[in-house]
Structure 1
Amino acid sequence: MARVLVVEDDPDIRQLVELRLRGLGHRVVSAASGPEALTVVAERGAPEVLVLDVAMPGMTGLEVLRTLREQPEHAHLPAVFLSARVRPEDIAAGEALGAIYLTKPFVVSALGAAIERALAAAVETAGW
């Protein structure tokens, strides 16, 4: 399974997502904010896939992904947005970054399938 970085400011949701992803066999690290996520990546290396909330104080999930994607080594880092924001413009912004966009509340199987799709798309993009 994949190494997943979960970026979610709500501790209850973050814990729930971690628990569910571990239940699917993934290795999970989490961050409570965008800046913390960037520190985790800098210190521990990139995950195989990101699961990000969009609306977080200080730095949105969209900004986190854009910041990481500006670095050549993370240009194709697969991502899944997991957000309560359901406005078409929010979904379009996430998809414009090449991420899969899911809304909360979420179904575990849908999140697992989105992670698998994001990983498969990254492999295809990298030409592996």
Structure 2
Amino acid sequence: MTASDREAFAPLLGGCHCGAVRYRISASPRRHSLCCCVDCRRSAGAPLVGWACVSESDLSVTGQTAGYNSSGDIERAFCPRCGTGLFYRSASLFPGEVDVSTGTLDDPGALPPTEVIQVADAPPWWETIGSLPRHARFPGEG
């Protein structure tokens, strides 16, 4: 990324649910993956997890996080106060990089996904998501 690219990029801000941990991404992520793997689903309690891959040097964090080694050298960082999953690191898979959970962005619309990964682990109903009924809020609300 050139100096002019860095100047044109609007930083991405985010944090945990309770606000004890905040972060700032200062350069454009290399990718924004929606992950369907079993480990991500179980750690997040969600059918998929969004991850923005950034250089460690482009991420600044305030507040304390706790870590959990989920397998091998994979470290998942979360807020110890509210439990929000925030970061994923693996020195062997992504040296010098950190994946930031995009569900924790202040403005998740600012970073559209670029790919869906680990679809071999997706539940069988994955392909039907686009055909489900849509509701602006809860079903039956005006």
Q: What's the TM-score once normalised by structure 2's chain length? A: 0.25
Structure with the larger helix share: 1
The structure number with the bigger radius of gyration is: 2
By relative contact order (CA 8 Å, sep 6+), the higher-ranking structure is: 2
Q: What's the TM-score once normalised by structure 1's chain length? A: 0.27
